[in-house]
Structure 1
Amino acid sequence: MNNSYLKIAGIHKNFGSFTALNGISIDIKKSEFVCLLGPSGCGKTTLLRIIAGLEQPTAGSIFINGKDMTYMPPAKRNFGIVFQSYALFPNLTALQNIAYGLKAKKIPKKEVKERALEALALVDLLHVKDKYPAQISGGQQQRVALARAIALSPDFLLLDEPLSALDAKVRERLRREIRFIQEKLQITTIMVTHDQDEALTMADKIIVMNNAEIMQVGTPQEVYNTPANPFVADFIGSINFWKESRKGKNEEKTAAIRPEHIRLSRTDGILAEVEDVEFRGPIYRLEFKVKDSSSHLYGQSIKVDVSTHDVNHLKLVKGMNIHISLPEESILAYNELVVS
């Protein structure tokens, strides 16, 4: 075996004639924070359930620390799990919710209370220990659910869309808190999400999935800066695509560039007209129509992210003409064509 702590080898999962997972293989190292990222229905939650033992694969194997655990029940896998819905007992206080799982493991009463209080302190919620779920906020409920999972001293942690039910501000704060706790405990963590910002800000490694298959595995920087295919490029962040003909060949490829990499100038570059201006706080998202008939981009709509400072400096308004340039080093090229 290699140095992977969790090895997923050739996992297939069929539900009748529907293929939920098609030959998934991943190596996850000890203490790594991994995000399974992809659109709804791509198979990421099914994969998480197979890792947990809540679902059996049709084919393939799961190794945990070098041991084949494919058909071991969940109780033998020593993991903590946090769901999107929190799944707290409404009739138990925050402290009692955390203690519940510890009691089930036949841990002495004194130690149960100590460990439950310790877990609450870790998520900074000692002040709500005697409150019921209905008396605390959604963000606090999710932290109690996290504390409950951690209190069991699991070997690894599974998070199933843990932040999607929360509002943006709380979500942002909890992203940092979960990552801080994960780093502090050095616990191997696998999180399912369809939120690219969550994956980019939290993960050591992102596994991008689509249609039951893995599209790319890499660091947040790798999947953003060098997406393996047009799907990844389009799913993570925003991007412009256009077709390019290969010189001397009767075939086309797809070229792409991120909106933030395009440069604006009053004099140099390709002439374009501002078609739309969208204010986004620190930046503006501008839509340009290329007006330079000598350019291979003639008639193309191009999205450009421009700092508020530059928008004010260049006095950019709808209907205005300006020049855009696409730095060669920022252009991505793909053999497959993008269907718009």
Structure 2
Amino acid sequence: MSQPFLSIQNISKNFGHFNALNQINFDINKNEFVCLLGPSGCGKTTLLRIIAGLEEPNNGSILLEGKDLTSLPPSQRDFGIVFQSYALFPNLTAYQNIEYGLKNRKVRSKERNERVLEALKLVDLVEIKNKYPGQLSGGQQQRVALARAVALSPKFLLLDEPLSALDAKVREKLRYEIRSIQETLGITTIMVTHDQEEALTMADKIIVMNNAEVIQVGTPEEIYDQPKSPFVADFIGSINMWNTERGKSQTFAIRPEHIEISKEGGLLSEVEHIEFRGAFYRLKLMVREADSPLKDEIVKVDLSAQMIDNHQLKKGDLININLPENQVLTYKEQVVV
């Protein structure tokens, strides 16, 4: 079996008495787009900084193609990095910002020019090459930062919440562009995000983190459809979650889109609220079935506009719902819901 491109082995980091990372282990394959996903404070940015050499771990190793990087300075790790804040030089044009790293590496003038123009073409910004950061939109600034990172032809790319400062429309457009550029270059990429939609739409592999630990590693489909813990189930997408007593305490969950409605059979429920979500409607139902363990529980159900129309649903209506067994997730631990 071939060795992984990048291997994170038993990485731990403490800041005084605060445990920022606890025994982090995972492997990344060449050309993979990997998202470190988790809530604020879970340790994902600290981990990215350790991979970059901007922080030192207390324990553990980072291997790149079998070579130990752990004690090397950032300049010897051969990566490009894009920060949330862009970190562009305000007194340099877009062209000069991209050229800066190449000058530092003593790349000759002719090759420098070729590589800068190539990077500008890649992010579709050739026409603004002579503009300063202050004359560019947030999205354009972030693309210049990305061009600057890839112009160095690094072995891997690190992205620290690169889209979080942008508005929703620009963010969605840049999601597609960044993934397209990554695929074109075939560059191994690690992106930190707390945005589940970003991770689901961009990543080949998602590493879900919480409380300084890796909770689950998998493809977007695996993370969404087979979450291994209530935390992952609740953090990725929307989900219904209940505690029950079946011999022992346990939690079971089901996604709103997996619940079926029918005219008869199933759990009698009352429509408490109907919310328009654009592509679908989200209903909040109160279970009225007298002998159900879910009696008086709220259930979220996602339905298409056509389903709403077909059933002529409105607030106060009574309908029946079914929870398909093959879509119900069960967890042994009981959680606060």
Bin of the TM-score, shorter chain as denominator length: over 0.9
Q: Which residue of 1 aligns with 2:330?
A: 333
| Secondary structure of 2:49 counterpart | helix
Tell me the amino acid that sits aligned with residue 276 of structure 2. Answer: F
Q: Which of 238, 252, 271 is 2:249 aligned to?
A: 252
Q: Which runs of 5+ in 1 are unaligned?
A: none
Q: How does 1:28-67 map to 2 (within 5 A)?
A: 28-67=28-67
Q: How does 1:12-31 map to 2 (within 5 A)?
A: 12-31=12-31
Q: Shift in Å at residue 72 of structure 1?
A: 0.3
Q: Percent identity?
A: 66
Q: Shift in Å at residue 244 of structure 1?
A: 2.6
Maintained 8 Å contact 2:83/2:159: yes
Q: Which of 310, 314, 328 is 1:313 aligned to?
A: 310
How many angstroms apart in 2 are the aligned matches of 1:7 and 1:208? Answer: 16
TM-score by length of 2: 0.99
Q: How does 1:241-280 map to 2 (within 5 A)?
A: 241-246=241-246, 249=247, 251-280=248-277
How many angstroms apart in 2 are the aligned matches of 1:107 and 1:326? Answer: 62
Q: Which residue of 1 aligns with 2:173?
A: 173
Number of aligned positions between the proteins: 337
How many angstroms apart in 1 are the aligned matches of 2:292 and 2:78? Answer: 60
How many angstroms apart in 1 are the aligned matches of 2:80 and 2:18? Answer: 29
Q: Which runs of 5+ in 2 are unaligned?
A: none
How many angstroms apart in 1 are the aligned matches of 2:92 and 2:4? Answer: 39
Q: Which residue of 2 aligns with 1:286?
A: 283
Tell me the amino acid that sits aligned with residue 165 of structure 1. Answer: A
How many angstroms apart in 1 are the aligned matches of 2:66 and 2:216? Answer: 24
| Secondary structure of 2:173 counterpart | helix
Answer with 237-246 or 288-297: which moved more.
237-246
| Secondary structure of 1:299 counterpart | coil
1:299 to 2:301 alignment: no
TM-score by length of 1: 0.98
Q: Shift in Å at residue 317 of structure 1?
A: 1.1
How many angstroms apart in 1 are the aligned matches of 2:305 and 2:164? Answer: 30
Q: Shift in Å at residue 266 of structure 1?
A: 2.0
Q: Which residue of 2 aligns with 1:80?
A: 80
Tell me the amino acid that sits aligned with residue 88 of structure 2. Answer: L
| Secondary structure of 2:272 counterpart | strand
Q: Shift in Å at residue 2 of structure 1?
A: 4.8
Q: Which residue of 2 aligns with 1:192?
A: 192
Q: Shift in Å at residue 295 of structure 1?
A: 1.3
Q: Shift in Å at residue 268 of structure 1?
A: 2.4
How many angstroms apart in 2 are the aligned matches of 1:94 and 1:267? Answer: 64
How many angstroms apart in 1 are the aligned matches of 2:267 and 2:201? Answer: 35
How many angstroms apart in 1 are the aligned matches of 2:307 and 2:318? Answer: 15
Q: Which residue of 2 aligns with 1:215?
A: 215
Tell me the amino acid that sits aligned with residue 198 of structure 1. Answer: E
How many angstroms apart in 1 are the aligned matches of 2:263 and 2:164? Answer: 43
